[in-house]
Amino acid sequence: MSEQKSPILAESAPLPGASQQAERPSAVKRILGGSAGRNLGLVIALVVLFIIGTVTAGDRFADINNFLTIIRYASIIGVISIGMTFVITAGGIDLSVGSVMGLATVVASLTAVQLAATQSSWLLMVLIPIAVGCAAGLVNGIVIAYGNVVAFMATLAMLVGARGLAELISGRRTQIVTNTGFLDFTRANLLGVPILIWIFAIVAIAGWVLLNRTTFGRRTVAIGGNLEASRLAGIKVKRHLVMIYVLSGLTAGIAAIMMLGRTTAGTSTHGLLYELDAIAAVVVGGTLLIGGRGTIVGTVLGVLIFSTLTNVFTQNNLDTSVQQVTKGLIIVVAVLLQQRFATRK
């Protein structure tokens, strides 16, 4: 019935009412058969972990403060993972996020920067990590898009280079954050919820809107789905790829601010192996490693699964080695399920 109407509707296409009417039947279909179905599996996994946690650790686990700990623990990796979701959806990879984050904490906590921040405003310590992250992302993007270097290699080089630079700048010393304005901001609570969690939530929501509702997101999915077809359709692929890596650098910069606040220190060892945790969370969440399909909700669930897992193990005083083995198993199972889903389709 909507098909018969459509020629008339289409002439007045920009009318919001008309487009909604045409969208409704397929929207239901999409939610049932699409990402929600996949996310359901992740929600079930998360619920199972909560049950295990409650059974094994009782009130130590099932406590609102502990839940906030889990989410706060997830928030830094979570922010990085949102950027990573875009990179992977576009068919790329960014191995440099962890060390770029480390570099950003070092630059922001330099004595000179902290002095300048005290003289002007603590916001400087927010802006500097963001600038460092974006700059590193810009370099990654330009090398990948215009230098035609494989993303894996380009960002591997940045991983090594940024870590080295952070060591050089800091002289491998831990730099304590003394700026009270900055510390007050990052350790504040809003409505009983730590600011770190608020930042994660805002980044996640912004990421969801960006991926699903904007032309930027559509270009990202299109390029990941078929780069050549996107190029020949007139999409400025190279420019977009640069922006994708800048976005990833931006999230690494935001994560650096959070890290500085949580640890009250900048050091070149911050963010070690974070890139792997982020990639694992993104892929477990259901974003295709070959690109063309990405899910922010899945990524958030993936991050929460890993952080809940860590918490359950810690509450039970279990060895971190066992925890890592479990993590490895989860990644393998998730990827196997993903492939089965893909072939069934």
Interaction residues for other proteins, span 276-335 (CB under 8 A): 292-293
Question: Do 278 and 77 meet the contact criterion of CB atoms below 8 Å apart?
Answer: yes
| Binding test (CB under 8 A) with other proteins, winner from 41, 231, 263, 337 | 231
| Sole binder of other proteins in the list 49, 222, 244, 279 (CB under 8 A) | 222
Segment interacting with other proteins (CB under 8 A) among 51-59, 218-226, 268-276, 303-311: 218-226
Q: Is 247 among the residues that bind other proteins (CB under 8 A)?
A: no
**Residue 6 makes contact with other proteins by CB under 8 A:** yes
At 193, give phi and psi (nearest 5°).
-115, 130
DSSP code of residue 60: G
Residue range at the interface with other proteins (CB under 8 A); choices 3-11, 141-149, 252-260, 268-276 = 3-11
Instruction: Answer yes or no whether residue 226 interacts with other proteins by CB under 8 A.
Output: yes
d(C-alpha 133, C-alpha 104), whole Å? 7
Least CB distance to other proteins at residue 219 (A): 8
DSSP 126-173: HHHHHHHHHHHHHHHHHHHHTT---HHHHHHHHHHHHHHHHHHHHTTP
28 touching other proteins, by CB under 8 A: no
Minimum CB separation from other proteins for residue 236, in Å?
A: 5
In angstroms, the CA 287 to CA 89 distance is 7
CA 50/CA 62 separation, integer angstroms: 8
Task: Out of 201, 216, 316, 323, point to the residue binding other proteins (CB under 8 A).
Answer: 216
Q: Is 31 in the site for other proteins (CB under 8 A)?
A: no
Q: How many residues can be counted in the chain? A: 345
User: Which one of 52, 66, 149, 218 is in contact with other proteins (CB under 8 A)?
Assistant: 218
Which of the 8 DSSP states describes residue 190? Answer: E
Binding-site size for other proteins (CB under 8 A) equals 37
Stretch that binds other proteins, among 40-48, 99-107, 136-144, 227-235 (CB under 8 A): 227-235
Pick from 13, 150, 325, 336: which binds other proteins (CB under 8 A)? 13
Looking at the Cβ atoms of 238 and 262, the one nearer to other proteins is 238
In whole angstroms, what separates CA 275 from the centre of its chain?
10
Interacting span for other proteins (CB under 8 A) from 10-18, 78-86, 90-98, 312-320 = 10-18
User: Rounded to the nearest 5 degrees, what angle is found at the Cα of 87, between the Cα atoms of 130 and 287?
Assistant: 130
Alpha-carbon 75 to chain mean position: 9
Residue among 133, 141, 217, 285 that touches other proteins (CB under 8 A)? 217
Q: How far apart are the first and last CA of the chain?
A: 28
Pick the piece of the chain touching other proteins (CB under 8 A) from 96-104, 120-128, 151-159, 223-231.
223-231
Binding mask 109-148 toward other proteins (x if CB under 8 A, else -) reads ----------------------------------------
Look-up: residue for tokens 């002439």?
A: 11
Residue 107 three-state SS:
helix
Question: Among 189, 215, 324, 339, which residue sits at the site for other proteins (rule: CB under 8 A)?
Answer: 215
* 48 lines the binding site for other proteins (CB under 8 A): no
Contact 295, 35 (CB under 8 A): yes
Residue that has been written with the tokens 């940024």 in this structure:
162
Interface residue with other proteins, options 43, 110, 138, 235 (CB under 8 A)? 235
Residue with tokens 């370099």: 139
Return the number of the residue (215 or 339) whose C-beta is nearest other proteins. Answer: 215
**Under rule CB under 8 A, residue 236 binds other proteins:** yes
| 101 contacts 107 by C-beta, under 8 angstroms | no
Is residue 133 a contact partner of residue 258, using CB atoms and an 8 Å limit? no
What distance lies between CA 6 and its chain's CA centroid? 39
Residues near other proteins (CB under 8 A): 3, 6-7, 9-10, 13-14, 16, 18-20, 22-23, 26, 29-30, 213-218, 221-222, 225-226, 228-236, 292-293
